[in-house]
């Protein structure tokens, strides 16, 4: 007959009592930390640090002293966002903005060129309503998708300033135009975005002062020099033909009627090129500077 197994008098059914207390403590700690996170304000810079750190740890060798890399700093991380290009190109696909937006990769960073439209009133730094609409669409993407420095370039053409202009030179006007764009970003667009994202601001998910920080922006006025340089390059061959034509007339190879007819055609070409170049410098350029540049 099988003998009954004797139970240890000190053994009790179920888990030890200390495990229940330990589980309760873990649950309380978890609830406490969740409450802390829920009540806190998320810093975009710090969040980006954590995000990049986790991605680096899983994808590559974590940066540090032993690997010769750089550890994460205490300051907000400044990186370029590859998604900016795609988002800006998506805006440029809109028929309304066709031919008005160009995106280029440069040694200094991502260059977004806005052109072929009247950004400013003639001889003025006052933005047009059409310009503000485009700048708002593009600016929101560029400003809120990265923390990189943003350089804004202003231009003028070779058209003389009005006699009553408040600007002493084209340099002053172009710098004022770049500054007008930045002013639009950090005041008008910032206020619009703040009104649109009231709920996110109240929940600590969006901070307009962080993204639209004036210290991120640099205004650069280039005057008429870039336009004149391009105009000279574009019309060089035609000017050479015109000069050769005058020499042929001086040497008696062609008569005055032939000179007038051919010179008229060449001058028309120069006029057409000049208008095209002028139109191309009705523009605003925004450079998203690379990290560390």
Residue 173: Cβ within 10 Å count: 23
Residue 48 tokens read as: 């980006």
**pLDDT score recorded for residue 67:** 32
Q: Does residue 155 form part of some domain? A: yes
**pLDDT score recorded for residue 29:** 80
Q: Does residue 142 form part of some domain? A: yes
- Alpha helices of 157-203 — where are they, by DSSP H? 170-183, 190-196, 198-202
Residue 288 tokens read as: 């998203």
| Global model pTM greater than 0.75 | no
**pLDDT score recorded for residue 261:** 95
Clarify whether residues 246 and 209 are in a common domain: no
Instruction: Identify the H or E element spanning 288.
Output: strand 284-289
Rounded CA gap, 80 and 106, in Å?
A: 13
Burial (CB < 10 A; 0-12, 13-18, 19+), residue 146, is buried
Rounded CA gap, 13 and 20, in Å?
A: 14
Clarify whether residues 125 and 214 are in a common domain: yes
Rounded CA gap, 117 and 100, in Å?
A: 7
Clarify whether residues 200 and 240 are in a common domain: no
Clarify whether residues 195 and 265 are in a common domain: no
Clarify whether residues 191 and 206 are in a common domain: yes
Clarify whether residues 181 and 261 are in a common domain: no
Clarify whether residues 211 and 274 are in a common domain: no
Clarify whether residues 116 and 241 are in a common domain: no
What does the chain come to in residues? Answer: 293
Do 152 and 219 contact (CB within 8 A), yes or no?
Answer: yes
Rounded CA gap, 283 and 281, in Å?
A: 5
Structural domains of the chain, count: 2
Rounded CA gap, 30 and 51, in Å?
A: 22
CATH of the domain at 177: 3.30.1330.60
Q: Does residue 50 form part of some domain? A: no
Clarify whether residues 107 and 209 are in a common domain: yes
Question: CA 149, 151, 156: angle at the middle one, nearest 5?
Answer: 175
Q: Does residue 251 form part of some domain? A: yes
Clarify whether residues 92 and 167 are in a common domain: yes
Q: Does residue 3 form part of some domain? A: no
Each of the 293 residues of the chain gets a pLDDT tens digit; together they read 555 555 555 555 556 766 677 777 878 788 877 777 665 544 444 444 455 455 545 554 444 333 333 333 333 333 445 578 899 999 999 998 988 999 999 999 999 999 988 999 999 999 999 999 999 999 999 999 999 999 999 999 999 999 999 999 999 999 999 999 999 999 999 999 999 999 999 999 999 999 999 999 999 999 999 999 999 999 999 999 999 999 999 999 999 999 999 999 999 999 999 999 999 999 999 999 987 65
Domain range for residue 107?
A: 83-225+282-289
**pLDDT score recorded for residue 27:** 80
Clarify whether residues 220 and 92 are in a common domain: yes
Clarify whether residues 176 and 249 are in a common domain: no
Q: Does residue 207 form part of some domain? A: yes
**pLDDT score recorded for residue 148:** 94
Q: Does residue 76 form part of some domain? A: no
**pLDDT score recorded for residue 48:** 47
Q: Does residue 68 form part of some domain? A: no
Q: Provide the 3-class DSSP secondary structure of residue 112.
A: strand
* E runs forming strands in 130-278: 150-154, 217-221
Residues linked to residue 153 through DSSP beta bridges, in sequence order? 220, 285
């Amino acid at each position: 007959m099988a003998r009954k197994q004797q139970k240890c008098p000190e053994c009790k059914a179920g888990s030890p009592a200390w495990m229940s207390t330990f589980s309760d403590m873990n649950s309380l700690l978890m609830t406490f930390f969740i409450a802390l996170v829920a009540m806190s304000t998320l810093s975009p810079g710090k969040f980006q640090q954590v995000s990049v750190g986790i991605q680096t740890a899983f994808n590559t060798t974590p940066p540090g002293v032993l690997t010769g890399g750089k550890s994460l700093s205490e300051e907000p991380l400044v990186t370029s966002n590859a998604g900016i290009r795609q988002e800006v190109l998506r805006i440029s696909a809109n028929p309304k903005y066709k031919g008005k937006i160009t995106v280029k990769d440069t040694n200094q960073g991502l260059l977004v060129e806005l052109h072929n439209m009247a950004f400013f009133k003639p001889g003025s730094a006052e933005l047009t309503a059409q310009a503000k609409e485009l700048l708002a669409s593009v600016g929101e993407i560029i400003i809120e998708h990265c923390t990189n420095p943003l350089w804004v370039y202003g231009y003028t053409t070779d058209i003389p300033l009005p006699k009553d202009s408040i600007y002493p030179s084209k340099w002053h006007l172009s710098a004022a135009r770049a500054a007008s764009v930045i002013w639009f970003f950090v005041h008008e667009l910032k206020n619009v975005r703040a009104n649109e994202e009231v709920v996110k601001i109240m929940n600590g998910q969006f901070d307009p002062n962080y993204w639209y920080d004036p210290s991120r922006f640099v205004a650069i006025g280039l005057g008429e020099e870039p336009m004149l340089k391009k105009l000279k390059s574009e019309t060089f061959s035609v000017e050479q033909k015109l000069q050769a034509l005058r020499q042929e007339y001086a040497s008696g190879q062609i008569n005055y009627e032939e000179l007038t007819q051919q010179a008229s055609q060449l001058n028309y070409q120069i006029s057409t090129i000049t208008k095209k170049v002028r139109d191309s410098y009705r523009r605003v350029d925004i450079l998203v500077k690379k990290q560390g540049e």
